A and B are shown apart, each in its own frame.
Chain A
Protein backbone atom coordinates (compact mmCIF):
# COMPACT_ATOMS: atom_id res chain seq x y z
CA UNK A 1 0.00 0.00 0.00
CA UNK A 2 2.63 2.44 -1.05
CA UNK A 3 0.89 5.18 -2.92
CA UNK A 4 -0.19 8.74 -2.49
CA UNK A 5 -3.95 8.99 -2.87
CA UNK A 6 -3.74 12.70 -3.64
CA UNK A 7 -1.29 12.49 -6.49
CA UNK A 8 -2.54 12.26 -10.02
CA UNK A 9 -0.79 9.70 -12.15
CA UNK A 10 1.07 12.34 -14.05
CA UNK A 11 2.06 14.68 -11.24
CA UNK A 12 3.60 13.93 -7.93
CA UNK A 13 2.88 17.15 -6.09
CA UNK A 14 -0.79 16.73 -5.28
CA UNK A 15 -3.52 19.31 -5.70
CA UNK A 16 -2.85 23.01 -6.09
CA UNK A 17 -4.95 26.17 -6.04
CA UNK A 18 -4.26 29.49 -7.71
CA UNK A 19 -6.55 32.47 -7.28
CA UNK A 20 -6.81 34.66 -10.36
CA UNK A 21 -9.39 37.19 -9.27
CA UNK A 22 -11.31 37.96 -6.10
CA UNK A 23 -13.61 40.59 -4.63
CA UNK A 24 -16.08 40.82 -1.78
CA UNK A 25 -18.62 38.94 -3.86
CA UNK A 26 -16.75 36.60 -6.12
CA UNK A 27 -13.62 34.54 -6.49
CA UNK A 28 -12.11 32.88 -9.55
CA UNK A 29 -9.53 30.20 -8.98
CA UNK A 30 -7.78 27.38 -10.70
CA UNK A 31 -7.86 24.00 -9.00
CA UNK A 32 -5.39 21.60 -10.53
CA UNK A 33 -4.11 18.05 -10.14
CA UNK A 34 -7.37 16.75 -8.83
CA UNK A 35 -9.91 14.56 -10.55
CA UNK A 36 -12.98 15.80 -12.38
CA UNK A 37 -15.08 13.88 -9.87
CA UNK A 38 -13.59 15.79 -6.96
CA UNK A 39 -13.93 19.18 -8.66
CA UNK A 40 -17.57 18.36 -9.31
CA UNK A 41 -18.10 17.36 -5.70
CA UNK A 42 -16.86 20.77 -4.59
CA UNK A 43 -19.14 22.49 -7.09
CA UNK A 44 -22.20 20.45 -6.14
CA UNK A 45 -21.71 20.88 -2.45
CA UNK A 46 -21.29 24.67 -2.75
CA UNK A 47 -24.39 24.87 -4.87
CA UNK A 48 -26.70 22.88 -2.64
CA UNK A 49 -25.34 22.01 0.77
CA UNK A 50 -23.57 24.98 2.35
CA UNK A 51 -25.81 26.19 5.20
CA UNK A 52 -26.98 29.82 5.34
CA UNK A 53 -29.75 31.81 7.01
CA UNK A 54 -33.07 32.76 5.42
CA UNK A 55 -36.50 33.77 6.61
CA UNK A 56 -38.55 30.61 6.90
CA UNK A 57 -41.61 31.56 8.92
CA UNK A 58 -43.64 34.76 8.74
CA UNK A 59 -46.34 35.74 11.20
CA UNK A 60 -48.46 38.41 9.60
CA UNK A 61 -50.21 40.67 12.11
CA UNK A 62 -51.45 43.25 9.67
CA UNK A 63 -51.23 43.44 5.93
CA UNK A 64 -53.37 46.05 4.25
CA UNK A 65 -51.08 46.32 1.25
CA UNK A 66 -52.19 45.19 -2.19
CA UNK A 67 -50.00 42.11 -1.99
CA UNK A 68 -51.18 38.82 -0.49
CA UNK A 69 -49.59 37.54 2.73
CA UNK A 70 -47.96 34.55 1.05
CA UNK A 71 -46.65 36.73 -1.76
CA UNK A 72 -44.85 38.95 0.74
CA UNK A 73 -43.72 35.92 2.73
CA UNK A 74 -42.10 34.49 -0.35
CA UNK A 75 -40.29 37.74 -1.06
CA UNK A 76 -39.08 37.89 2.54
CA UNK A 77 -37.72 34.37 2.25
CA UNK A 78 -35.62 35.38 -0.74
CA UNK A 79 -33.91 38.29 1.03
CA UNK A 80 -30.27 37.29 1.62
CA UNK A 81 -29.36 37.40 5.29
CA UNK A 82 -25.84 37.61 6.65
CA UNK A 83 -24.73 34.10 7.58
CA UNK A 84 -21.29 34.72 8.98
CA UNK A 85 -20.33 31.99 11.47
CA UNK A 86 -23.64 30.25 10.82
CA UNK A 87 -22.19 27.25 12.67
CA UNK A 88 -23.25 29.06 15.86
CA UNK A 89 -26.86 28.53 14.86
CA UNK A 90 -28.50 25.16 15.39
CA UNK A 91 -30.86 23.61 12.85
CA UNK A 92 -34.34 24.28 14.17
CA UNK A 93 -35.44 20.70 13.53
CA UNK A 94 -32.78 19.27 15.81
CA UNK A 95 -32.52 22.07 18.34
CA UNK A 96 -32.68 20.54 21.81
CA UNK A 97 -33.51 23.82 23.50
CA UNK A 98 -36.98 24.20 22.13
CA UNK A 99 -39.91 22.52 20.41
CA UNK A 100 -40.54 25.14 17.79
CA UNK A 101 -37.84 27.80 17.54
CA UNK A 102 -35.69 29.76 19.97
CA UNK A 103 -32.68 32.09 20.13
CA UNK A 104 -30.34 29.15 19.60
CA UNK A 105 -31.80 28.12 16.30
CA UNK A 106 -33.43 31.21 14.82
CA UNK A 107 -33.24 34.96 14.40
CA UNK A 108 -36.35 37.11 14.68
CA UNK A 109 -36.83 40.07 12.37
CA UNK A 110 -39.78 42.40 12.66
CA UNK A 111 -41.20 44.74 10.09
CA UNK A 112 -43.58 47.57 10.82
CA UNK A 113 -44.27 49.98 8.04
CA UNK A 114 -47.19 52.32 7.46
CA UNK A 115 -47.62 54.88 4.75
CA UNK A 116 -48.86 58.18 6.10
CA UNK A 117 -47.81 60.55 3.32
CA UNK A 118 -49.51 61.13 0.01
CA UNK A 119 -46.75 59.53 -1.96
CA UNK A 120 -46.23 55.84 -2.56
CA UNK A 121 -43.86 54.47 0.06
CA UNK A 122 -41.38 51.70 -0.59
CA UNK A 123 -40.56 49.19 2.12
CA UNK A 124 -36.96 47.99 1.96
CA UNK A 125 -34.96 45.17 3.49
CA UNK A 126 -33.28 47.74 5.76
CA UNK A 127 -36.65 48.30 7.43
CA UNK A 128 -36.44 44.82 8.95
CA UNK A 129 -35.51 45.15 12.60
CA UNK A 130 -33.27 42.33 13.78
CA UNK A 131 -33.85 41.07 17.31
CA UNK A 132 -30.75 41.25 19.50
CA UNK A 133 -31.40 37.79 20.92
CA UNK A 134 -29.46 35.77 18.39
CA UNK A 135 -26.62 33.23 18.24
CA UNK A 136 -23.99 35.76 17.12
CA UNK A 137 -23.66 39.37 16.07
CA UNK A 138 -23.82 38.92 12.32
CA UNK A 139 -26.31 36.25 11.68
CA UNK A 140 -29.68 37.45 10.32
CA UNK A 141 -28.72 40.96 9.21
CA UNK A 142 -30.22 41.65 5.79
CA UNK A 143 -27.52 41.88 3.13
CA UNK A 144 -27.44 45.47 1.88
CA UNK A 145 -24.92 46.29 -0.82
CA UNK A 146 -26.41 49.22 -2.72
CA UNK A 147 -24.78 52.63 -2.19
CA UNK A 148 -27.89 54.10 -0.55
CA UNK A 149 -28.02 51.30 2.00
CA UNK A 150 -31.60 50.36 1.27
CA UNK A 151 -31.52 46.71 0.37
CA UNK A 152 -34.12 44.97 -1.72
CA UNK A 153 -37.64 46.37 -2.07
CA UNK A 154 -40.19 44.25 -0.24
CA UNK A 155 -43.41 46.10 -1.08
CA UNK A 156 -44.89 49.46 -1.96
CA UNK A 157 -47.55 51.06 0.24
CA UNK A 158 -50.19 53.67 -0.57
CA UNK A 159 -51.49 56.15 1.99
CA UNK A 160 -53.05 54.36 4.95
CA UNK A 161 -51.71 50.92 4.07
CA UNK A 162 -49.78 49.06 6.71
CA UNK A 163 -47.48 46.08 6.98
CA UNK A 164 -46.82 44.59 10.41
CA UNK A 165 -45.19 41.19 10.61
CA UNK A 166 -42.70 39.02 12.42
CA UNK A 167 -40.19 36.90 10.49
CA UNK A 168 -38.35 33.89 11.82
CA UNK A 169 -35.07 33.22 10.02
CA UNK A 170 -33.65 29.73 10.26
CA UNK A 171 -30.58 27.89 9.12
CA UNK A 172 -30.98 25.66 6.09
CA UNK A 173 -29.45 24.40 2.88
CA UNK A 174 -30.31 25.05 -0.76
CA UNK A 175 -31.20 21.38 -1.28
CA UNK A 176 -34.34 22.13 0.70
CA UNK A 177 -35.09 25.55 -0.80
CA UNK A 178 -33.06 27.74 -3.15
CA UNK A 179 -33.44 30.71 -0.80
CA UNK A 180 -30.67 29.14 1.30
CA UNK A 181 -28.21 29.11 -1.58
CA UNK A 182 -24.92 30.84 -0.69
CA UNK A 183 -24.11 31.48 -4.34
CA UNK A 184 -25.93 32.95 -7.28
CA UNK A 185 -23.58 30.98 -9.50
CA UNK A 186 -20.83 28.45 -9.12
CA UNK A 187 -19.24 26.56 -11.94
CA UNK A 188 -16.00 25.39 -13.42
CA UNK A 189 -14.63 24.79 -16.87
CA UNK A 190 -11.71 22.74 -18.07
CA UNK A 191 -9.84 22.04 -21.26
CA UNK A 192 -10.52 25.41 -22.99
CA UNK A 193 -9.12 24.14 -26.30
CA UNK A 194 -11.33 21.05 -26.19
CA UNK A 195 -8.31 18.82 -26.69
CA UNK A 196 -10.08 16.01 -24.85
CA UNK A 197 -13.07 16.26 -27.20
CA UNK A 198 -15.49 16.21 -24.29
CA UNK A 199 -17.53 18.77 -26.21
CA UNK A 200 -18.91 18.27 -29.68
CA UNK A 201 -19.12 21.82 -31.03
CA UNK A 202 -21.86 22.60 -33.50
CA UNK A 203 -20.68 24.71 -36.44
CA UNK A 204 -21.66 25.92 -39.89
CA UNK A 205 -18.27 26.03 -41.57
CA UNK A 206 -15.50 26.13 -39.03
CA UNK A 207 -15.86 25.51 -35.29
CA UNK A 208 -12.68 27.41 -34.41
CA UNK A 209 -13.96 30.53 -36.15
CA UNK A 210 -17.52 30.42 -34.91
CA UNK A 211 -16.88 29.66 -31.25
CA UNK A 212 -15.15 32.45 -29.31
CA UNK A 213 -12.25 31.17 -27.22
CA UNK A 214 -12.75 30.92 -23.47
CA UNK A 215 -11.02 33.51 -21.33
CA UNK A 216 -8.90 30.66 -20.00
CA UNK A 217 -7.75 29.63 -23.48
CA UNK A 218 -4.56 31.65 -23.12
CA UNK A 219 -3.73 29.75 -19.92
CA UNK A 220 -3.14 26.50 -21.74
CA UNK A 221 -1.16 25.58 -24.83
CA UNK A 222 -3.28 25.47 -27.95
CA UNK A 223 -3.25 22.17 -29.81
CA UNK A 224 -0.41 21.82 -32.28
CA UNK A 225 -1.05 21.39 -35.97
CA UNK A 226 -1.54 17.72 -36.73
CA UNK A 227 -1.18 16.75 -33.07
CA UNK A 228 -2.33 13.18 -32.45
CA UNK A 229 -5.21 12.64 -30.03
CA UNK A 230 -3.96 11.69 -26.59
CA UNK A 231 -6.12 8.81 -25.43
CA UNK A 232 -4.62 8.86 -21.94
CA UNK A 233 -5.26 12.53 -21.27
CA UNK A 234 -7.59 13.44 -18.40
CA UNK A 235 -8.80 16.87 -17.32
CA UNK A 236 -6.45 18.31 -14.73
CA UNK A 237 -7.00 22.04 -14.46
CA UNK A 238 -10.39 23.31 -13.38
CA UNK A 239 -11.20 27.01 -13.61
CA UNK A 240 -13.76 27.74 -10.91
CA UNK A 241 -15.93 30.83 -10.71
CA UNK A 242 -17.83 31.35 -7.47
CA UNK A 243 -20.29 34.21 -7.20
CA UNK A 244 -21.63 34.89 -3.69
CA UNK A 245 -25.11 36.18 -2.95
CA UNK A 246 -23.60 38.26 -0.15
CA UNK A 247 -24.57 36.23 2.89
CA UNK A 248 -21.15 34.57 3.13
CA UNK A 249 -17.67 35.60 1.93
CA UNK A 250 -16.62 33.67 -1.16
CA UNK A 251 -13.69 32.25 0.82
CA UNK A 252 -16.02 31.10 3.57
CA UNK A 253 -18.29 29.45 1.01
CA UNK A 254 -15.44 27.35 -0.35
CA UNK A 255 -14.11 26.44 3.08
CA UNK A 256 -17.61 25.58 4.28
CA UNK A 257 -18.20 23.50 1.18
CA UNK A 258 -15.09 21.44 1.80
CA UNK A 259 -16.13 21.09 5.40
CA UNK A 260 -19.55 19.79 4.41
CA UNK A 261 -17.90 17.08 2.27
CA UNK A 262 -15.72 16.09 5.19
CA UNK A 263 -18.69 15.98 7.53
CA UNK A 264 -20.52 13.68 5.12
CA UNK A 265 -17.50 11.39 5.02
CA UNK A 266 -17.08 11.50 8.78
CA UNK A 267 -20.74 10.57 9.20
CA UNK A 268 -20.23 7.56 6.94
CA UNK A 269 -17.13 6.48 8.85
CA UNK A 270 -19.00 6.82 12.12
CA UNK A 271 -21.82 4.72 10.76
CA UNK A 272 -19.39 2.06 9.60
CA UNK A 273 -17.57 1.87 12.90
CA UNK A 274 -20.45 1.95 15.36
CA UNK A 275 -23.40 1.06 13.16
CA UNK A 276 -22.10 -2.47 12.79
CA UNK A 277 -24.18 -3.04 9.71
CA UNK A 278 -21.25 -3.73 7.42
CA UNK A 279 -21.27 -7.24 6.06
CA UNK A 280 -24.70 -8.16 7.26
CA UNK A 281 -26.58 -8.96 4.10
CA UNK A 282 -29.44 -10.44 6.07
CA UNK A 283 -30.60 -7.14 7.50
CA UNK A 284 -31.32 -5.75 4.10
CA UNK A 285 -35.03 -5.25 3.82
CA UNK A 286 -35.67 -2.82 0.99
CA UNK A 287 -37.50 -3.59 -2.21
CA UNK A 288 -35.32 -5.57 -4.61
CA UNK A 289 -35.51 -6.60 -8.19
CA UNK A 290 -36.48 -10.27 -8.43
CA UNK A 291 -33.19 -11.31 -9.95
CA UNK A 292 -31.05 -9.82 -7.27
CA UNK A 293 -30.98 -12.87 -5.02
CA UNK A 294 -27.59 -13.83 -6.30
CA UNK A 295 -25.82 -16.06 -3.88
CA UNK A 296 -28.79 -16.86 -1.76
CA UNK A 297 -27.81 -17.49 1.81
CA UNK A 298 -29.36 -15.44 4.52
CA UNK A 299 -30.52 -12.87 2.05
CA UNK A 300 -33.07 -15.24 0.59
CA UNK A 301 -35.33 -14.93 3.57
CA UNK A 302 -35.60 -11.23 3.15
CA UNK A 303 -37.59 -11.60 0.00
CA UNK A 304 -40.89 -13.06 0.88
CA UNK A 305 -42.71 -10.06 2.20
CA UNK A 306 -43.38 -8.89 -1.29
CA UNK A 307 -43.24 -5.29 -2.25
CA UNK A 308 -44.00 -2.76 0.42
CA UNK A 309 -45.22 0.63 -0.63
CA UNK A 310 -43.80 3.66 1.06
CA UNK A 311 -47.21 4.40 2.51
CA UNK A 312 -47.02 1.67 5.04
CA UNK A 313 -49.68 -0.64 3.71
CA UNK A 314 -48.72 -3.66 5.67
CA UNK A 315 -48.74 -6.64 3.37
CA UNK A 316 -48.24 -8.86 6.38
CA UNK A 317 -51.33 -7.71 8.25
CA UNK A 318 -53.61 -8.36 5.36
CA UNK A 319 -55.31 -5.03 5.91
CA UNK A 320 -54.76 -2.36 3.37
CA UNK A 321 -53.92 1.19 4.22
CA UNK A 322 -57.51 2.22 3.67
CA UNK A 323 -58.52 0.32 6.70
CA UNK A 324 -60.99 -2.26 5.42
CA UNK A 325 -60.19 -4.97 7.90
CA UNK A 326 -62.20 -7.79 6.49
CA UNK A 327 -65.37 -5.78 6.36
CA UNK A 328 -67.28 -5.24 3.18
CA UNK A 329 -66.52 -2.08 1.35
CA UNK A 330 -68.87 -0.36 -0.99
CA UNK A 331 -66.48 -1.22 -3.74
CA UNK A 332 -66.37 -4.91 -3.11
CA UNK A 333 -63.05 -6.58 -2.60
CA UNK A 334 -59.86 -4.76 -3.29
CA UNK A 335 -58.58 -5.58 -6.71
CA UNK A 336 -55.68 -7.30 -5.05
CA UNK A 337 -57.80 -9.65 -2.99
CA UNK A 338 -56.12 -9.25 0.34
CA UNK A 339 -59.11 -9.34 2.58
CA UNK A 340 -59.75 -13.03 2.56
CA UNK A 341 -63.40 -12.30 1.85
CA UNK A 342 -63.37 -11.17 -1.69
CA UNK A 343 -66.24 -11.56 -4.00
CA UNK A 344 -65.08 -14.70 -5.76
CA UNK A 345 -65.30 -17.32 -3.10
Chain B
Protein backbone atom coordinates (compact mmCIF):
# COMPACT_ATOMS: atom_id res chain seq x y z
CA UNK B 1 0.00 0.00 0.00
CA UNK B 2 1.49 3.20 -1.14
CA UNK B 3 1.48 5.85 1.41
CA UNK B 4 -0.94 8.40 0.04
CA UNK B 5 -0.52 10.69 2.67
CA UNK B 6 0.67 13.73 4.17
CA UNK B 7 3.81 13.61 6.15
CA UNK B 8 1.68 13.78 9.20
CA UNK B 9 0.15 10.39 8.65
CA UNK B 10 3.15 8.28 7.80
CA UNK B 11 5.83 7.87 10.35
CA UNK B 12 8.83 9.83 9.19
CA UNK B 13 11.51 7.64 7.61
CA UNK B 14 14.59 7.30 9.69
CA UNK B 15 16.77 9.17 7.22
CA UNK B 16 14.34 12.03 6.86
CA UNK B 17 16.32 14.06 9.22
CA UNK B 18 16.62 17.73 8.56
CA UNK B 19 19.38 20.15 9.10
CA UNK B 20 19.16 22.73 11.77
CA UNK B 21 18.81 25.43 9.16
CA UNK B 22 15.69 23.80 7.76
CA UNK B 23 14.08 23.63 11.13
CA UNK B 24 12.37 26.81 10.22
CA UNK B 25 11.81 29.52 12.72
CA UNK B 26 13.69 27.98 15.55
CA UNK B 27 16.01 30.95 15.41
CA UNK B 28 13.18 33.38 14.94
CA UNK B 29 12.94 35.58 18.00
CA UNK B 30 10.07 34.71 20.24
CA UNK B 31 7.81 37.71 20.27
CA UNK B 32 6.47 38.86 23.56
CA UNK B 33 3.58 41.21 23.87
CA UNK B 34 5.06 43.99 25.95
CA UNK B 35 1.61 45.44 26.51
CA UNK B 36 0.59 42.40 28.47
CA UNK B 37 1.29 43.27 32.10
CA UNK B 38 2.37 39.70 32.77
CA UNK B 39 5.24 40.16 30.33
CA UNK B 40 6.47 43.45 31.62
CA UNK B 41 9.50 43.20 33.85
CA UNK B 42 9.46 45.35 36.96
CA UNK B 43 12.30 47.35 35.49
CA UNK B 44 10.14 48.89 32.82
CA UNK B 45 8.13 51.36 34.86
CA UNK B 46 4.43 51.98 34.47
CA UNK B 47 2.03 50.54 36.95
CA UNK B 48 -1.34 49.43 35.92
CA UNK B 49 -4.25 48.81 38.20
CA UNK B 50 -7.28 46.84 37.26
CA UNK B 51 -10.40 45.75 38.98
CA UNK B 52 -10.91 42.03 38.92
CA UNK B 53 -14.08 40.44 37.54
CA UNK B 54 -16.97 40.36 39.97
CA UNK B 55 -16.23 43.73 41.51
CA UNK B 56 -19.01 46.10 42.43
CA UNK B 57 -19.00 49.70 43.63
CA UNK B 58 -18.68 48.90 47.29
CA UNK B 59 -16.84 45.60 47.11
CA UNK B 60 -13.97 45.48 44.68
CA UNK B 61 -10.70 43.69 44.13
CA UNK B 62 -7.88 45.71 42.61
CA UNK B 63 -4.94 44.13 40.89
CA UNK B 64 -1.58 45.90 41.09
CA UNK B 65 1.16 44.94 38.67
CA UNK B 66 4.72 44.83 39.98
CA UNK B 67 3.84 45.41 43.59
CA UNK B 68 4.38 43.10 46.53
CA UNK B 69 4.19 42.93 50.32
CA UNK B 70 6.11 46.21 50.54
CA UNK B 71 3.07 48.15 49.40
CA UNK B 72 0.36 45.55 49.97
CA UNK B 73 0.61 45.07 53.69
CA UNK B 74 1.01 48.76 54.58
CA UNK B 75 -1.85 49.70 52.28
CA UNK B 76 -4.06 46.98 53.72
CA UNK B 77 -3.39 48.32 57.21
CA UNK B 78 -4.06 51.95 56.41
CA UNK B 79 -7.23 51.20 54.43
CA UNK B 80 -8.51 49.02 57.26
CA UNK B 81 -8.14 52.03 59.58
CA UNK B 82 -10.80 53.86 57.61
CA UNK B 83 -14.09 53.43 59.54
CA UNK B 84 -16.06 53.33 56.27
CA UNK B 85 -14.24 50.16 55.31
CA UNK B 86 -15.79 46.87 56.27
CA UNK B 87 -12.98 44.67 55.03
CA UNK B 88 -9.59 45.03 53.41
CA UNK B 89 -7.16 42.26 52.61
CA UNK B 90 -4.37 41.64 50.16
CA UNK B 91 -2.81 38.65 48.52
CA UNK B 92 -0.09 37.72 46.11
CA UNK B 93 -1.83 35.08 44.01
CA UNK B 94 1.31 33.40 42.76
CA UNK B 95 4.93 33.94 43.77
CA UNK B 96 6.23 33.95 40.21
CA UNK B 97 3.77 36.52 38.93
CA UNK B 98 4.46 40.10 39.91
CA UNK B 99 0.88 40.77 40.87
CA UNK B 100 -0.72 41.89 44.09
CA UNK B 101 -4.46 41.94 44.72
CA UNK B 102 -6.23 44.14 47.24
CA UNK B 103 -9.82 43.45 48.23
CA UNK B 104 -11.84 46.32 49.67
CA UNK B 105 -15.43 46.17 50.94
CA UNK B 106 -17.03 49.31 52.30
CA UNK B 107 -19.98 50.24 54.48
CA UNK B 108 -20.21 53.67 52.92
CA UNK B 109 -18.66 55.23 49.84
CA UNK B 110 -17.07 53.26 47.02
CA UNK B 111 -14.16 50.88 47.28
CA UNK B 112 -12.23 53.11 44.90
CA UNK B 113 -12.68 56.06 47.26
CA UNK B 114 -11.35 53.96 50.11
CA UNK B 115 -8.34 52.93 48.03
CA UNK B 116 -7.57 56.52 47.06
CA UNK B 117 -7.95 57.64 50.64
CA UNK B 118 -5.64 54.83 51.77
CA UNK B 119 -2.98 55.89 49.28
CA UNK B 120 -3.01 59.53 50.37
CA UNK B 121 -3.12 58.56 54.06
CA UNK B 122 -0.05 56.39 53.59
CA UNK B 123 1.79 59.24 51.86
CA UNK B 124 0.88 61.46 54.82
CA UNK B 125 2.13 58.81 57.25
CA UNK B 126 5.42 58.64 55.35
CA UNK B 127 5.73 62.43 55.55
CA UNK B 128 5.09 62.28 59.26
CA UNK B 129 7.69 59.56 59.91
CA UNK B 130 10.18 61.36 57.70
CA UNK B 131 9.70 64.61 59.63
CA UNK B 132 9.93 62.77 62.95
CA UNK B 133 13.16 61.14 61.84
CA UNK B 134 14.72 64.50 60.95
CA UNK B 135 13.66 65.83 64.37
CA UNK B 136 15.08 62.80 66.14
CA UNK B 137 18.32 63.14 64.23
CA UNK B 138 18.72 66.76 65.32
CA UNK B 139 17.88 65.84 68.91
CA UNK B 140 20.48 63.09 68.84
CA UNK B 141 23.16 65.38 67.43
CA UNK B 142 22.58 68.08 70.03
CA UNK B 143 22.61 65.40 72.70
CA UNK B 144 25.96 64.09 71.45
CA UNK B 145 27.33 67.62 71.25
CA UNK B 146 26.24 68.30 74.83
CA UNK B 147 28.14 65.32 76.23
Question: Residues on A close to B: CB < 8 A?
Answer: 1, 3, 5-6, 14-19, 22, 29, 31, 34-35, 37-38, 40-42, 44-45, 48-49, 93-94, 175-176, 251, 254-255, 258-259, 261-262, 264-269, 271-272, 275, 277-281, 283-288, 292-295, 297, 299, 302, 308, 310-312, 321-324, 328-333, 341-343
Whole-angstrom distance from the CB of A10 to the nearest CB of chain B?
13
Chain A residues with Cβ under 8 A from B56's Cβ? Answer: 295
Given the known interface contacts A14-B128, A37-B73, A265-B71, the answer about A5 and B82 at a Cβ–Cβ threshold of 8 Å is: yes
A255, B137: Cα distance in complex, Å: 12
CB distance from A18 to the nearest CB of B (A): 6
User: Complex: how many Å from CA A211 to CA B28?
Assistant: 61
Closest 6 CB pairs of A and B: A323-B25, A294-B54, A299-B53, A328-B7, A5-B121, A37-B73
A19 with B77: CB separation less than 8 A: no
Return chain A residues, CB-CB under 8 Å to B52. 281, 284, 292
Q: Are B126 and A312 in contact (CB-based, < 8 A)?
A: no
Looking across the interface, which residue of chain A has its beta carbon closest to that of B110? A279
Interface residue ranges of B3-55 to A (CB < 8 Å): 6-9, 12, 16-18, 24-26, 28, 30-33, 36-39, 42-45, 47-55
Q: Determine which of A19, A94, A271 lies in contact with B47 in the assembled complex, contact meaning CB atoms within 8 Å.
A: A271
Cβ of B122 within 8 Å of any chain A Cβ, yes or no, is yes
> How near does chain A come to B130, taking the closest CB pair, in angstroms?
5
Task: Find chain B residues with CB under 8 A from A271 CB.
Answer: 47-49
Beta-carbon contacts of B66-93 to A below 8 Å, as 1s and 0s? 0101110110111001111000000000
Contact between chains at B67 and A264 (CB < 8 Å): yes
Chain B residues lying within 8 Å of A332, measured Cβ to Cβ, are 7-8, 12
* Complex: A65 Cα to B82 Cα, angstroms: 63
* Interface residue from B38, B42, B133 paired with A29 (Cβ < 8 Å): B133
Contacts of A330 in B (CB 8 A): 7, 12, 16-18
Residue of B26, B73, B120 with most partner-chain A CB within 10 A: B73
Residues of A within 8 A of B116 (CB): 269, 272
Majority-rule SS of B interface residues: mixed
Known: A19-B139, A31-B129, A255-B133. A310 touches B7 (CB 8 A): no
Q: How far is the CA of A251 from the CA of B127 in the complex (A)?
A: 15
Q: Identify 17 new A-B residue pairs, CB closer than 8 A, beyond the known A5-B81, A265-B71.
A: A3-B82, A38-B78, A41-B74, A255-B133, A258-B130, A272-B112, A286-B36, A288-B53, A292-B52, A311-B32, A321-B30, A323-B24, A323-B28, A328-B6, A330-B18, A343-B8, A343-B9
Q: In the assembly, what is the distance between CA of A93 and CA of B129, in Å?
A: 32
Q: Which B residues are CB-close (under 8 A) to A254? A: 133
Known interface pairs A6-B124, A22-B140. Does A293 touch B53 (Cβ–Cβ under 8 Å)? yes
B141 CB to nearest chain A CB (Å):
8
Given A15-B129, A17-B135, A44-B69, do A312 and B123 touch, yes or no (CB 8 Å)? no
Identify B128's interface contact among A15, A19, A175, CB under 8 A.
A15
**Given A265-B123, A284-B52, A310-B32, residue A41 in contact with residue B133 (CB < 8 A):** no
- The interface residues of chain B lying within 8 Å CB-to-CB of A41 are 70-71, 73-74
Q: List 13 A-B contacts (CB under 8 A).
A: A5-B124, A16-B132, A37-B74, A41-B71, A44-B69, A251-B133, A251-B137, A272-B115, A278-B51, A284-B63, A286-B38, A288-B53, A310-B39
